[in-house]
Amino acid sequence: MIRKRQFVTLLSATALALTLGSAPAQAAPEGHGLDPRPSTAKLARELRALEWLSLGEVDVTSLGKSNQGRPVWGARVGHGKVRVQYVTQQHGDEPLGTPAALEFLRKVGVGHSPWQRWLRSKVTVDIVVRANPDGHEHDWRYNYDPEAFPEYGEHGKGYDLNRYHNPSLAPELNPATESGLVQRRYAAFQPEIMVDYHMQGRYVDAGGKEITASVLWPTNAGVKKADVDFAKQIAVVAQQSINGHGGNVSQYPGGDYEGIARNAYGLRGSGSVLIELSAMDSREQAQIQDALASMLAIAQKAADGSLRGVDPAKADAIPPRGPEIPALAGARAAEPALD
């Protein structure tokens, strides 16, 4: 764990009083430029800075090491009863959830506005910030294990981390090292809500408008209906927040394999959702802000209790993802549906 100074909280009485009232107004996501692909070293500096600037409200921990010895970071903010977990960058070449997570930690953890104190009193948000640092450095989907012959992955590169979250697979036996770290963090935290941030190619909807993001809930038949419905409520909040920020959200055509995080953590009882940001170079900063808007909206609605009042049937009305845009989609879009 990163060393922290001990700080005296001067406003605890005010924060406690705020928990008894309605939610204070939340600031809108800002539009300033963020580094879409911070290096491993820069990510560590950013997290340390957030911990220091937040006076310890942001708690940063190394969850362990990747196969090439890079830290996999966990960051936690808040001390409320409702537990929310976000995971970014399981696939190394899908980076935009990571700067959104850093900005989320800054907006929620750094400062003592009424809204910040209220939110931190209601929820605890845990983030695995860049689950796949080796894949990030190599700019590929997989972790780094070139000698392996993975069932899901590529020999000469490594494992697809998002196929190794099976509830029956013990972390210490997980061949995908970094997936095992995520499993351990999840088991220790036991979140009600789990959201996994990825990226996809470029697609249009039925009307020809480009899709900026896609969402999906668990589709494995073993997930309890109540947990699927809760995940659908989360997906609706994500859709509404991104669309309200200028995006265009579709359903994602994902699979039902139990090793996919979206399914695995649904099987373990969480409201588990996938969010795929489209790889749009000309809209990259807006994509980061859309991811941030979804993180803030999910945490806010979990905090004020309105999340459980969302109609899960609205998720089924989210339009399907349409055809790819061949000239713009890039290599990722040529793949079949891959969370």
Instruction: Give per-residue pLDDT as tens, 267-281.
Output: 999 999 999 999 999
Nearest to 152 by CA among 137, 169, 172, 133: 169
Q: One-letter amino acid identity for 312? A: P
Asked whether 192 and 84 are in contact (CB, 8 A), the reply is yes
Whole-number pLDDT of residue 57: 98
Q: What percent of the chain has pLDDT over 90?
A: 86
Tell me if residue 8 falls in helix, strand or coil. Answer: coil
Average pLDDT score over residue span 323-328: 84
Residue 9 banded pLDDT, cuts 50, 70, 90: very low
How far, in Å, CA of 208 to CA of 273, rounded? 26
pTM for this entry: 0.91
What pLDDT is recorded for position 319? 98
Nearest residue to 316 via CA among 185, 215, 204, 227: 215
Mind listing the pLDDT tens digit for each residue in 218-229?
999 999 999 999
Kindly list the structural domains of the chain, giving each domain's residue range(s) and its CATH number in brackets, ordered by start: 42-330 (3.40.630.10)
Q: Which of 276, 284, 324, 335 does the annotation list as catalytic? A: 276
Q: pLDDT band at 338, cuts 50/70/90?
A: confident
Active site residue 276: yes
Beta bridge partners of 65: 71
